[in-house]
Every structure is written in C-alpha cells, then in structure tokens.
A and B are shown apart, each in its own frame.
Chain A
Amino acid sequence: MADLHFLANPARFRRFSQRVLPGLGFATALMLAVGIYMAFFVAPEDYQQGKTVRIMFVHVPSAWLSMGGYAMLSALGASLLVWRHPLAALMARAAAPVGASFAAVCLLTGSLWGRPMWGTYWVWDARLTSMLLLFFLYLGHIALSRAYDEPERGDRAAAILALIGVINLPIIKFSVDWWNTLHQPASITRLDAPAIHNSILVPLLWMAVSLLFLFVYLVLLRTETEIDRRRLENAEAAA
C-alpha cells in the first residue's frame, strides 16, 4: 500500500496513468476479443438452459464489477473524508458512471435472461431489488457530486452517500441465502467447490478478468480527465 502512496498526488498520478494506459488498453482489447470468442464458440451449451447460458458471461462479471466498483467508491469516500486525499474525490467522480454502467448492464442482461428461463423480465425479489438499489445509489452519487457550485462540497456529500450505501453490498450478496428469492443462490463465490463445470467456468472467469481490465482502463482514463477538468476550473476561478 505504501508503494501506491505516490499516486495520491494528482500530477504524479497523471504521469503514471499516461505511461500505463496505452498498454492497458491494448491488453484489454486483446483479452476481450479472446473472451468473447470463448463465450460464443468455445463454451458449451448448458444441459438445461441451452444457448441462453451465454448471457452469464456478461451478466455475472458485470454484477461483480458493479459491486466491486461500489466498494471502491466507498473506500475512496473514506479516504476523502478521513485522510483528505486530493485524488480520491476525482477518482470517485471518474469511477461512479463506470460502475453505474456495469450495474445497468447487469440489470438489463439479467432481465433478458429472466424472460426465457424464469418466464418474466422482472420480479421484486430481494436479489433483484437490492441490485436495482445499487444502480440508484450510483445515480445518486453522480447527481450529488454535481449538485453544488463548489465541487469540493459535492465531493464530500457524494462520499457520505457512498459510505452509507456500502450496507447494501452484503445485502445483495447474501439476499439469495437469507430470503427465498426467484434468483438462484451463488454458483462460484461460496464455500464449497463451484457449481459450474470447468468448460463454462473458465470462459466466465476469463470474461471477468477482461472486463476488470476494461473497468480499470476506463477509470484511469476518466480520472485523468477529471484532473484536467478540476485544474481548468481552478484556473478559471483564479482568473
């Protein structure tokens, strides 16, 4: 952790991200291409669900990343409120729309998967509802961070919302265990062996890592933009 400390300085962060971004972008594109090929042509059909199981290769990583992204937003909120890290607020502004997009993809693909398998696009069970709440928390964060004339006040208000919403993450995760739901329980993130055959599990994990690369790439790129934007605003205010 201490080694990453130098990144807390926006100028140094910017130099770091400019060095990393081209290579990371290339790696992301390559990984996604392989992952999509595996998802469509290598992975077998499921014994019950047939081809629709392929929706999982986008749906599940999106769900993970939207939850991981929110955990990151909360950590950034804490480092802004407690340690006043100058970069945390800018990174949170950069990350929130990316996380919201993954949450939206998760909800949309889930809905399209639910119709043929369950027989409905949407039900208000605990898993689906808590996931929708996560999406709204993201939207709230985006709106709140832009709600003040002084951006620093928006940063702080959004950080508080990010920390309050972190309560929702364990609720999403364990909703399928605590209450009976239409959504089935976890296949991978559980104590015993995964309930997914390796031929489907490997493409799924590959896609998850590829989309994680995409997430990191987008957040770094957007953080750069936020640093430039804040500098411009400060320069304009000073002029």
Chain B
Amino acid sequence: MKKRFKILFTVFIMLMFSSCGDNETHVINTVHEDGSVNRKVTVKTTDKKDFIQKNSRVPVDSTWRIEITYDINENKDTVWLLTADKHFDSVEEINEEYDKDKGSNRALKRSADFTKSFKWFTTVFRYTETIEKVLTIDCPMSDFLTGEELKFAYLPGKIRGDLKNGPDSVRIKEMEERIDRKSEEWLWTCEFRQWVEVFYDLFGDNPDLGITRDEMRSRESEFAQLMTGDDNNNDEGANLDSLFATVVGEDFVKTFKTEIDSAGSVVDTIDSPFWGASKYDMEIRMPGRIIASNGYAEIDPDSDNGGGILWTVKGDYFLTETYEMWAESKVNNYFIWIITGLFILFVSSGLIFYHRKAKSS
C-alpha cells in the first residue's frame, strides 16, 4: 500500500507539472457531409522527443503527411512545430487508428462516431469523440464541485488562460485553487472507493474481515481528507501506511496486508490509463452550421484554428465518467424547401379553385 501511494503521489505531482508543460497538442477534426474526416494534428514543443511515436498523444504514424518546422520563442528557446494531417474516409478508419495506437494515450478507450440524419427540411450531422471511463465505480466530479466550478473545470485550457488573465483574474485564480483542492479530494475518494469495491469483490466472503463493505465505504471522506491534509504535503510516503491504518484500523492492515496489496495492484491496473494519460486539445469543425455542442467556441479571431468547437482532453474528465465531445450541425435542404413550397402552393390553389367553383355554381 505504501509503495503504491508513493507511486501515485509521484505520478500525481508529475501530472500537475506536465499539465503546465510546453507540449501543446492540438487536434482538428474537419468533418465532411459524407462522413469523411480531415484530421490535422499540431504539436508545439521545446523537446523534439515529443515527436517520437510513443510520446504522441494522438495516433500519428508514417501514413500521415508530416511537416516539422521550428522557431525561436521570446526566451530564445527553439520551439518545434509538428504538423501532421490525414484524410479518413470514415470514422471507422479513425477508430482503427485508435485501436492500433502506440502513443502515450494508448491505454485510453477512444472512439469516434458520425451520424447523418435526414430531417426533411434539414440534414443534421453529429460527430462524437468518446473516451470511456477508467474506473468501474461511480464517483462523479459534480458531487464535489459546484455548478460554476464544474463549468470552469471543463473549460479548454486556452479559454481558461484567457479568463485567468482577464479583468476578473483574482476571483478566477481563487476559484482555480479551490477547484484544485477539491479535485484532489475527489481523486483520493475515487481511488479509495475503487479499492473498496475491488477488495470486497475479491475477499468480501472472508468471515474474519470484521468491517463490512458499507462501513469501509463510509470512511472514504476521512481517507481523502487525510490524504489532502496540510500535514501530508511534506510527506514522502513514510506515514502513508499509518494514514491508511488510521482509517481502516491497524489490526485490519496487519491481518489483511496481502489482500490489501493485492486489491491495490488490481486498482493500479484499472486506473493506469488515467495516470498515464497526456493532455491535449480537441477541435471539431462541422459541415454547415453548428447548432449544438457540449464544447466551447473558439473565441480568438486571430487564431489560425478559428471556427471550431474546443475541448480539452485530460484524465480528470474520464476517470469516473465517460467523456463525450460532440457537435451537431445542420445543412438546409433547399431542394426540399422548394418542393414543399410548391406542394403547399398547389394545395392552396386547389382549395381556392374549389371554393370559387362552389360559389359560382
């Protein structure tokens, strides 16, 4: 258990740093009416190693048209820019690439979907990118964050950055700190809840346990508070066993050490896609006019990437809930408009003709 939490802490700290790192991966999906998709991936980094396939956050291989350029930023560092694009005839081809992915996010279960529905006067297109949830338990972020905090937590990094530098920056920064604090609490609650489920699924039949599943579950908030407490900040994992023992009881830890570690290993396997996930931005551009989406509109008119709907993909979003990025657009079927208009005119004329005839006779 101790070793496990040491690793988790290290990875968590790494994740926090990596989220502020200089690898900016941006994926633009330009969807066409026939369901084909032009995918463009741009990776901006100061470390050229990020271009190696195993470090790629989205699948990019030799079948893509790749261009690498560089520039010097304001700190006189070399900034490398990789631009890769590929045309996919259908979303199935994208899904095949996801299945064969060898990049840093290969453990994620990602898929794309496209539907086209004829709705007489309009044709509606829907494009979805889905990332399956990692943990098997239910532990929604909404149980920990308020509505406003939740909205802010889901904002793409770019828009969040704009807000942080905006006129209400003090309030925004304070809210971000609050969200970070609550997110950490949520994260440890999820981990503990998952561990409880696995532990009791595997060893729940043992008559010597002494603590029921529900009793153990009720201790999750205590565990999360201990893990996120100020006293724990300078800890190097030395008292993690004692923290765990404080929550579940020392006797329990001593008696079921092997079982606890086994359950911990299973949880490690389950949540490894989360800990290994690397952040990137997703943009979807739809044919026709976008009518609905759960993303955010690009607001920077100077951006080369303008015109699409934005999302950020990061571990928090799909740890306990399936993360779906979708956009719907419509194209007017003007031919149908004309046909229907003529039909209505024909019927109206017929009725007028009938009434005149009836009147005259």
Q: Do A and B bind each other?
A: no
Q: Which residues of B contact A (CB under 8 A)?
A: none
Q: Which residues of A contact B (CB under 8 A)?
A: none
